[in-house]
Amino acid sequence: MSNYKIVAATGCPTGIAHTYMAQEALEMAAKKKGVSIKVETHGQIGIENELTEEEIKQAEVVIIAADKDVHAERFQGKRVISVSVGRGIKDADSLITEALNGAGKVQEVSEQVTIDTTSKAPEVKNIGHFLYKNLMNGVSHMLPFVVSGGVLIAISFLWGIYSFDPENAQYNQFAATLKDVGGLAMGMMVPILSAFIAEGIAKRPGLVVGFVGGLVASNGGTGFLGGIVSGFLAGYVVLLLSKLLKVLPKQLDGLKAIFLYPVLGVGITGLIMVLLSSPMSAINKGMMDFLAGFEHSNPFILGLIVGCMCAFDMGGPVNKAAYVTGTALLAQGNTSFMAGVSAACIAPPFITGFAVLFFRKYFETEERNAGLVNFVLGSTHITEGAIPFAAKDPLRALPIMMIGSSIAAILTYSFGVKVPAPHGGFLVLPVVTHGAMWVISILIGSVIGGFLLGRLQKYRVDKGE
């Protein structure tokens, strides 16, 4: 093993699958090249395999494969290659080669401790990734609140859909308490989203400003759209303040952090969000009504849109757009939209499972094992297990996944299924309206997709591809 030292950090929005797939891919690629690497992961349970200051100091290059904030300010003065987590999975070999060949940019050393104001703005070609990374930093921290709150609310419905209402015969005090607790967690969705978008941009000083901006957005009825706007607004307000306040003596740095940034930042962001709340609330309501309208008018079109979005990149930005919309509608009482989103997310791993069952001899042993494991992952609403199958032939495999997911979503909407929880897969079946039809819808879409994917694999093997 070479003494050439590489360190890396990986992180995906949900912190469930992509994070660790990128870690494994980078470690395997480095092993092939005979170089040493340590990969720090930023998953849903926190930072694992954390890089020490000494390891970062000794590293010759840093690879960041992440779609969320991984505290890149630690790598100032080091040569850094920064890419999406998806590229970390698909092009790990190329990234290691680039690292060995001197690729990457040296992170400029900032004089500011809390906020990096001296680094250059992102290049035009990287602006999209920069914005997406900060947006996903908010989404990744928001999801546990949405999932925990949504599932608790769903469980409370086991005592009856009106079990929270003291005036109703179904009333149950324990169920009502569960719903209240779940509602508090769900109510944190917009403030947390906003807070961690701002934190990704302006680090810790942006956190409180983003949080309060998100509260103003939430109270103003702007929904998650307002949370996104307040998060970016708060982050850049704090960055602007940090530049304006650089003229103050360095002895006042502590005062800036605990007094000036939060007071001025919260005041400016809060007032702007109050002004924006009314028009944004109207836009948010119109968008939600538009999507909800498809549910009642044309389940085919809605299912096709949702199915294609969820299977297009399986955990990526398009998938997350559908999922976040579903959670936002769920928070407003629309439990039908999420049913199709969940079906479309469960279908891709099931498709791979049925493909290896139907066309077993055309898959390698490792693929057969992964396909069977995907039945378990899919059952718990984890879509990412299908990525390795799609990545081998994306131009042909992804359309098949999209067909299967669309069929599952279309049938789900046609049968009037309602899913009151934003995650959990089949674990939340007891609280699903028309649960049997939901499972049948998913299985039909998955079996059709599995047959097509298996036929594709047979074709590839027969052609020697």
Which residues are identified as catalytic?
Answer: 12
First and final C-alpha spacing in the chain:
33
Which residues are within 8 A (CB) of 101 and not within 5 positions of it... i.e. 6 or more apart? none
CA 337 to each of CA 171, 342, 369: distance values in angstroms, whole numbers, following the listed order: 27, 9, 33
Are the beta carbons of 18 and 85 closer than 8 angstroms? Answer: yes
Would you call 357 exposed, middle or buried from its count of C-beta atoms within 10 A (0-12, 13-18, 19+)?
middle
Here the tokens at position 181 are 């607790």
Integer Cα distance of 32 and 165 in angstroms: 62
Integer Cα distance of 383 and 319 in angstroms: 10
Go through 91-119 and write b for each residue having 16 or more CB atoms within 10 A of its CB, e for each that does not. bbeebbebbbeeebeebeeeebebbbbee
Q: What is the DSSP string of 379-405?
A: HTT--GGGHHHHHTSHHHHHHHHHHHH
Which residues are within 8 A (CB) of 162 and not within 5 positions of it... i.e. 6 or more apart? 168, 170, 171
Are the beta carbons of 113 and 253 closer than 8 angstroms? Answer: yes
Stated length of the chain: 465
Among 158, 34, 23, 188, smallest CA distance to 100 is for 34
Would you call 192 exposed, middle or buried from its count of C-beta atoms within 10 A (0-12, 13-18, 19+)?
buried
Integer Cα distance of 165 and 171 in angstroms: 6
Residue that the structure tokens 């989203």 belong to: 193
Q: What is the DSSP string of 140-165?
A: HHHHHHHHHHHHHHHHHGGG-TTTT-
Which residues are within 8 A (CB) of 134 and not within 5 positions of it... i.e. 6 or more apart? 69, 197, 200, 201, 231, 232, 235
